[in-house]
């Protein structure tokens, strides 16, 4: 089928490339000329494992352009995959969704299905349909469907090609059948529902996972007080199939482009409709507090950080991505700098983006070991494989004072026992040198 995709961020670009992988002719549209030029050269503007390889493999079925008029003119299906960032009040900013919808309405010269793939508040598809009907060319029928994405950064390609489910929200049979054809080659269960339910499925899913993370983090904090081990607790919980083991890894909170804004957006939507989602409010509050966990732990060893050399291992909100949005490192590093600490940081892919925040205020290192040299303190924010591969000797032999505060529980406690390292992690007992 001939498909166009509005937006080339994580959602739009991954969707377009994966649809091309399934044999569709796909045109990806973006207003950013530099991004388009980069993609026309076969280079991905985002760090996502496997994405660039698929771009090369399917280059004969992929077109990248800023010319939305030609891209939308004769497309059979047009996906809207633009960003919906949060506003100051926590609500979703739908400006780019409506902008894309308006461009589609003015450009489409044949009947087609407009698919909202961006995460949008319940009822947005109806507003998109109203806008499109007002501005569509005479005689052109444009149906609107909801088809939320369920991809995670770092595994976005796999999550799209081998989806856990495909949710299709439509109000008419014709749009439903078109989307069935789009996803014909995908081996995943398909749920057919109405648009509002599809929109809610996306928010309810993301917010439940965020809630699960905040829950285990609260349990971890209590484990430290009462002397329990959160990893054993999570393992015992995970054996129950009704609970499951995923998203029960204690740490310093979630980040990224989805969970933070989606919890805030659903909380805002509930409040706007004179409703209260107490669990979501608690999820947001717990996560914000958890981001300060490493700094609070570090205060046990130093009254302030002035004059200290602090090694920071990992900058991104999780491994497998260069995304810094809502990353806990962006909460802690400003505190260290305000205290006049010397910060030496390492991250395998996040450095370039982090330099946009701190071009010269921190030192960027070529390896974890280099970051550890003569450090008085080490804070671990991201569980990159290179960090998990470090041994107690790497900390003991390189640091001036081997105090390791691990926000991701990278190492078994037994491996740190008796190694001459102070090892303080999340929800577990502290190893004293």
Query: Where in the sequence numbering do the catalytic residues fall?
Result: 258
The CA–CA distances, whole Å, from 326 to 86, 255, 260, 345 equal 12, 5, 7, 18
Which residues make beta-bridge pairs with 191? 167
Rounded Cα distance, 318 and 243, in Å? 23
Please compute, for residue 412, the number of CA atoms within 13 A of its CA located in the half-sphere on the CB side.
2
| Pair 47, 322: CB distance under 8 Å | yes
**Token pair of 131, please?**
């806008």
SS3 284: helix
Query: Given the structure tokens 């939507």, which residue do they identify?
Result: 269
CA-closest candidate to residue 329, choices 285, 373, 362, 286: 362
CA-closest candidate to residue 217, choices 432, 428, 429, 430: 428
**Token pair of 233, please?**
């607790």
Q: For the chain, how are helix, strand and coil distributed in percent, rounded to 5?
A: 45, 15, 45
């Amino acid at each position: 089928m001939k498909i166009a995709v509005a937006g080339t961020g994580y959602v739009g670009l991954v969707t377009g490339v994966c649809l091309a992988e399934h044999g569709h002719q796909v045109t990806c549209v973006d207003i950013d000329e530099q991004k388009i030029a980069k993609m026309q050269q076969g280079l991905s503007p985002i760090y996502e494992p496997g994405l660039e390889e698929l771009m090369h493999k399917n280059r004969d079925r992929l077109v990248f352009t800023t010319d939305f008029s030609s891209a939308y003119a004769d497309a059979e299906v047009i996906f809207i995959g633009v960003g919906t960032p949060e506003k100051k009040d926590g609500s979703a900013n739908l400006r780019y969704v409506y902008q894309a919808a308006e461009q589609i309405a003015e450009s489409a010269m044949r009947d087609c299905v407009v698919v909202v793939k961006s995460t949008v508040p319940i009822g947005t598809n109806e507003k998109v349909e109203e806008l499109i009907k007002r501005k569509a060319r005479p005689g052109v029928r444009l149906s609107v469907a909801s088809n939320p994405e369920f991809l995670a950064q770092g595994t976005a390609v796999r999550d799209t090609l081998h989806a856990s489910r495909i949710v299709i929200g439509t109000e008419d049979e014709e749009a439903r059948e078109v989307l069935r054809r789009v996803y014909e080659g995908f081996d995943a269960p398909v749920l057919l529902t109405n648009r509002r339910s599809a929109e809610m499925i996306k928010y309810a899913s993301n917010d439940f996972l965020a809630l699960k993370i905040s829950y285990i983090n609260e349990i971890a904090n209590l484990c430290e007080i009462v002397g329990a081990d959160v990893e054993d607790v999570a393992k015992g919980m995970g054996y129950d199939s009704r609970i499951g083991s995923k998203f029960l890894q204690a740490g310093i909170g979630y980040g990224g482009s989805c969970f933070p804004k989606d919890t805030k957006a659903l909380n805002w939507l509930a409040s706007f409709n004179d409703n209260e989602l107490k669990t979501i409010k608690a999820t947001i509050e717990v996560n914000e507090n958890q981001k300060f966990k490493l700094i609070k732990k570090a205060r046990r060893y130093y009254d302030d950080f002035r004059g200290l050399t602090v090694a920071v291992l990992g900058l991104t909100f999780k491994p497998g991505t260069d995304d810094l949005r809502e990353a806990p490192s962006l909460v802690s590093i400003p505190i260290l700098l305000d205290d006049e600490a010397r910060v030496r940081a390492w991250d395998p892919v996040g450095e370039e983006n982090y330099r946009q925040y701190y071009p010269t205020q921190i030192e960027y290192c070529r390896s974890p070991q280099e970051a550890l040299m003569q450090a008085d303190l080490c804070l671990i924010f991201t569980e990159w494989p290179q960090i998990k591969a470090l041994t107690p000797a790497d900390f003991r032999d390189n640091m001036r004072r081997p105090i390791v505060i691990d926000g991701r529980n990278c190492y078994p406690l037994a491996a740190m026992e008796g190694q001459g390292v102070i090892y303080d992690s999340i929800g577990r007992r502290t190893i004293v040198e």
